[in-house]
Amino acid sequence: MKHCCLLLRGSSCGTLFALAAGALRRHRSVGSDGFSQFRSVCLAIAGISLCAELCVQAYGARKVAEPGITPVQAELMADLNARLLHVGAPVFARVTVDWTRTGCVLPKGAVLEARVVSVAPYNKATHLSELDLTFTRAQCAAPSMAAFDLLLAALAAPPRPMDMGILSDPLPMNTSYSGGNGQVALAAVKTMQMSGNINLKLGIDESGYKVAALPRLHMGDVSGIHGMKLSFGSGTGATTVLACKGHDVSLEKHTVLLLVPSQGLLPRSTSEAVRPDSATASGAAPAGETHIGAAPAAVSGPEQTQAEDIDVCDPPHCNVDLRAGDDIDDGKPKVSFSAGQLGYATRVHEEMHDFDRDETLTWLGPDQLLVSFNPHALIPRRSLGPAGSTERIIRAVLLDTRARRIIRSVDWELPDNNEYLWPLAGGRVLAHVGSELRVYDEGLKISQRIRLDAPLAFVRVTPDGNFIVVGQVRERHSPELHARLRESLQGEPEEDVSVTVLNHEFDTIARSEARSDLIPPTLLNEGQARLLALRNRRYRVALLTWDGRSSVLAEFGSGCVPRLSSLAPDLLFLSSCNVHNGMLEYRVLNSSGKLTLKGFTNPDDLVHAAKGNGDGGMFVVKTLRSSTVRSGAPFRAASLDSGEFGVYRATDGKRLLGVHVGSPTSSLDDYAMTGDGSQLAVLTRDQISIYAIASR
């Protein structure tokens, strides 16, 4: 009994006896062997001896002065249901708070692996469902997994704000970066736009946000999950058993798990040597209360008064666009070019699940139109450096629209199928080619190269083009673990993303870290716009300025997950669904949250997109329609009936031009306005048309 006695220090004899006796009765009733009985008694004693109360505070997991065990805080990486599991199936969790103990360091984002020991779906005879889990492997500060035993001690439902879903996260910038221009600290946007030696703050002003805390938990507790019970150490080999009465054991993605290391807490089989100091080495300590602080589960938004209703549209500063279908003032092109003569052709019968970014139009001057597209040529599979190997080829053709001739044509090799072209201020464009970002000027001449040392995650540019945020993927897992996670999660696992902020001179002014499963930031000239989910299908748009001030711009309802993007001169484009009928709708807001334009649509609408320009003070909204395909369903380019392009004034949403085209492409970027707002170019499956925009 000497191993068990190691855990008796400072305990109440009556309490320990009662727990031990209860554990023995349970195991005798199911015919457990002697060692299992002994192990369960020790586990019950250890649970009391440790008094491992798990208290979730507001910020950061930390152990206070009292001795004890600091549990590992993690979350499930996918939904879990007993009916879909089998014995031996892996279950993966992700560490949410940095954790350090002798023999293993688990940084935030590290993967934990559990194995299903036994599983019983709901049975009408017993009215029970059970799941026996054992956590046996962990990613201890290394790309690969290593043996590391943990016991599931308590769990809780995803905190309410997280359960409802924060749709985009702030950029948590590290402002201590010292680049070639000196130390970077805090300042205002106007200063930032004029200097390379600037102060910068990008991140949450935590004092202005409420953090949803988890409830106070003890070993064996289950919080917020109806009908679930957790039996700590009662399973085969002292594993943890989850049980539900009346339905299958089921846990949502992001369910919070609190685990304790089993080394030193539980005796091993008689063949294993147990050292007297094992409890101390593993983090177990003499009896005492352990307080655990959990990292912020979610941010519910800035503490502000009720936001103004986003649907208030007060003329003359706002317009409601009631035009749809055939009720449109058709603009006539002043000039057209055959797209086929450039080598452009679409695969109209290829099934698609989302709209692509293969075709893009960009103006490099009043008479220079850059037409870039996928020629669907044979792809030479070769390495492009750190960013990856060739996935597609994009042909870039620069047209002189006045002389009606081709100025230059080049082919770009890309390592992914994502967005690859971003307009910049001054008639320039930023292109992703191979393992670098290139800045092209008028004449399609390269003026700047920015090397990438990892695959590109995203690029975001402020509407005025003065700041560029670049995210690069940093592989967190070994190839073997990556493949296993992809198979288990049925999708790409979360990776680390290194974030770099560049100014208009392409100097690095800040660095940060993020995660690949977060929606890339939405940038305004004043700061970052955030989209937060509230209760009852309500959403909030909040602004975090560059100097750390937070405010609520607007709130609205949506029957689907909304999309938020920014466009020049300094606007937000919000695409959502009507709460009552589910139809798509869109809104354009200015940087103070005031509604500039609200569009009413019809059931044939499949997608909305928007672009703007800075000098002309205009923006254009694109709508694609189909009478045979519903929004969100697979489609083919041939099934797209028409496209509508409306040009509006940024100050009040007044409509300046309407264009209706047949045979639209499936791209979200097949249109562009000149910098001065005098021309609109549109690409269809057959031709490129240029329309004159009359200022009114």
What is the per-residue DSSP string for 617-665?
Answer: TEEEEEEEE-SS--TTS-B-GGG--EEEEEEEETTT--EEEEEEEESB-
Whole-angstrom distance, CA of residue 282 vs CA of residue 265: 8
| Confidence at residue 478, expressed as pLDDT on a 0 to 100 scale | 85
The percent helix, strand, coil of the chain (3-state, each to 5) is: 10, 45, 45
Tell me the residue type at 414.
L
Q: Give the pairing type, strands 356-365 and 667-669.
A: parallel
Q: Which CATH number fits domain 173-207+307-379+388-692: 2.70.70.10, 2.60.120.10, 2.130.10.10, 2.40.50.100?
A: 2.130.10.10
- The whole-angstrom distance between residue 407's C-alpha and the CA centroid of its chain comes to 40
| Confidence at residue 10, expressed as pLDDT on a 0 to 100 scale | 35
| Confidence at residue 603, expressed as pLDDT on a 0 to 100 scale | 87
Q: At what angle do helices 13-29 and 34-50 cross, to 10 degrees?
A: 150
The rounded radius of gyration (Å) of the Cα atoms in the chain is: 29
Whole-angstrom distance, CA of residue 612 vs CA of residue 676: 11
The total number of residues shown for the chain amounts to 696
pLDDT along the chain (696 residues), means of 10: 35 39 43 47 43 37 46 92 93 92 88 94 90 93 90 85 45 40 32 33 33 66 90 76 92 91 53 31 32 34 49 68 52 90 89 92 95 91 92 96 94 95 92 96 95 94 92 88 84 87 91 80 92 86 89 92 94 93 92 91 89 90 92 89 94 93 94 94 96 84
Q: Work out the number of other CB atoms within 10 angstroms of the CB of residue 561.
A: 14
Whole-angstrom distance, CA of residue 678 vs CA of residue 693: 5
| Confidence at residue 513, expressed as pLDDT on a 0 to 100 scale | 82
What token pair was written down for 614? 């800075």
User: Cα dihedral angle (120, 124, 126, 130), rounded to 10 degrees?
Assistant: 20
Residues with Cβ within 8 Å of 469's Cβ and at least 6 positions away in sequence, in order, are: 171, 458, 459, 460, 461, 499, 500, 501, 502, 520, 521, 523
| Confidence at residue 330, expressed as pLDDT on a 0 to 100 scale | 63
| Confidence at residue 309, expressed as pLDDT on a 0 to 100 scale | 58
Buried b (16+ CB within 10 A) or exposed e, 508-541: bbbbbbbbbebebbbbbbbbbbbbbbeeeeebbb
Whole-angstrom distance, CA of residue 641 vs CA of residue 649: 27
- Could you give phi then psi for residue 78, rounded to 5 degrees? -155, 160
What token pair was written down for 3? 């191993």
| Confidence at residue 348, expressed as pLDDT on a 0 to 100 scale | 87
Q: Work out the number of other CB atoms within 10 angstroms of the CB of residue 417.
A: 12
Domain ranges of the chain: 2-159+213-296, 173-207+307-379+388-692
Report whether the peptide linkage leading into residue 569 is cis, meaning its omega lies within 30 degrees of zero.
Answer: yes
Judge contact between 492 and 158, C-beta under 8 A: no
| Confidence at residue 220, expressed as pLDDT on a 0 to 100 scale | 87
| Confidence at residue 501, expressed as pLDDT on a 0 to 100 scale | 92
Whole-angstrom distance, CA of residue 366 vs CA of residue 381: 37
Which letter does DSSP use for residue 133 in this model?
E
Judge contact between 9 and 34, C-beta under 8 A: no
Judge contact between 634 and 353, C-beta under 8 A: yes
What token pair was written down for 83? 């009916």
Q: What angle do CA 167, 481, 153 make, to 5 degrees?
A: 70
Judge contact between 671 and 646, C-beta under 8 A: no
Q: What is the 3-state secondary structure (H, E, C) of 19-55?
A: HHHHHHHHHHHCCCCHHHHHHHHHHHHHHHHHCCEEC
Residues with Cβ within 8 Å of 200's Cβ and at least 6 positions away in sequence, in order, are: 173, 175, 184, 185, 186, 187, 192, 501, 509, 510, 546
